[in-house]
Amino acid sequence: MTAVGVSGAGGQMGRLVAAAVAEAADLELVALYDPHAAGETVAGREIAATPEVMAGAAVVVEFTRPDVVMDNLGVWRRLGCHAVVGTSGFDVTRLAAVEELWGEGPSRCLVVPNFSIGAAVMMRLAELAAPHFAAAEIIELHHDRKADAPSGTATATAERLAAAAPEQHRAVESRELVPGARGAAVAGIPVHAVRLPGLVAHQEVLFGGPGETLTIRHDTTDRRVFLPGVLLGIRAVADLPQPVTVGLEALLDL
């Protein structure tokens, strides 16, 4: 039985994760933390206002905000917990900071831009396609309450595309008449972020070459799709070979 705590337990994903952990036969929900929802009850447990409540957890699932996640990770590392992180905002610089923070030792940290199995497959397919096309762009679409843009999934995808195909060749570079019209460059890949009510999480990777295009798209229509990936991460994090691992694909043999 693995003791699990949920950080950000008052949020939409935090509540879903807490309920899924409580229902799993091999997991035990032992702590909930969220200073913005302290005192509320989720999955039969009261949400605490202080992070020290996680002292009894072997694994902490972190679904909070980019502006607090690093401080939280510092606490989980100090407490000797493994961490499974679903918070957005982990670019190359922040991942380097996590590796420095985590250092060596028995604790493990798994950072996952997107817990959807389909999204992990989408990113892998895009990585395989990249060397065969002249250029690529990403359109990511999320609900209008998402805390950051571009999404962690889009950032991770762009970085993987850039590594797989370092040179993009375009016959014409359009001049922006309105700043931002061409999106933001992430590792040299244009990324366009759409935020609208009614959306959940969606991403298109568009490839272009002489005479043809290819589009790889993934759509999330219900946040519950993330739960199998979260549970997989909880069960596998302690056995990861490195102190810090990025991406669910490391657990899916992709």
| Ranges of H-type helices in 58-116 | 69-79, 92-102
Tell me, yes or no, whether 9 and 110 share the same domain.
yes
pLDDT value of residue 107: 96
Domain count, the chain: 2
Tell me, yes or no, whether 46 and 109 share the same domain.
yes
Paired strand residues for 186: 189
Amino acid of residue 11: G
pLDDT tens per residue across span 67-93: 999 999 999 999 999 999 998 878 889
Written as six digits, the tokens of 197 are: 């009510």
**What CATH number corresponds to the domain at position 108?**
3.40.50.720
Q: Confidence class of residue 249 from pLDDT cuts 50, 70 and 90?
A: confident
Is residue 192 among the annotated active site residues?
no
Beta carbons within 10 angstroms of residue 175's beta carbon:
7
Tell me, yes or no, whether 10 and 109 share the same domain.
yes
Tell me, yes or no, whether 100 and 128 share the same domain.
no
Tell me, yes or no, whether 236 and 111 share the same domain.
yes
Tell me, yes or no, whether 79 and 132 share the same domain.
no
For 154, the domain range is 117-220
Distance CA 112, CA 246 (A): 6
**What CATH number corresponds to the domain at position 204?**
3.30.360.10
Closest CA to 5 of 81, 78, 69, 70: 81
Tell me, yes or no, whether 80 and 148 share the same domain.
no
Tell me, yes or no, whether 148 and 94 share the same domain.
no
Tell me, yes or no, whether 73 and 195 share the same domain.
no
Is residue 146 among the annotated active site residues?
yes
The predicted model gives 176-195 an average pLDDT of: 94
Please tell me which residue in 82, 132, 143, 146 is annotated as part of the active site: 146
Q: Which of 93-97, 221-225, 235-239 has the highest mean pLDDT?
A: 235-239
Tell me, yes or no, whether 239 and 158 share the same domain.
no
What are the φ and ψ backbone dihedral angles of 150, each rounded to 5 degrees?
A: -70, 170
Please tell me which residue in 142, 192, 202, 218 is annotated as part of the active site: 142
Tell me, yes or no, whether 208 and 121 share the same domain.
yes
Q: Confidence class of residue 164 from pLDDT cuts 50, 70 and 90?
A: very high
Tell me, yes or no, whether 53 and 172 share the same domain.
no
pLDDT tens per residue across span 24-46: 999 999 999 999 999 999 999 99
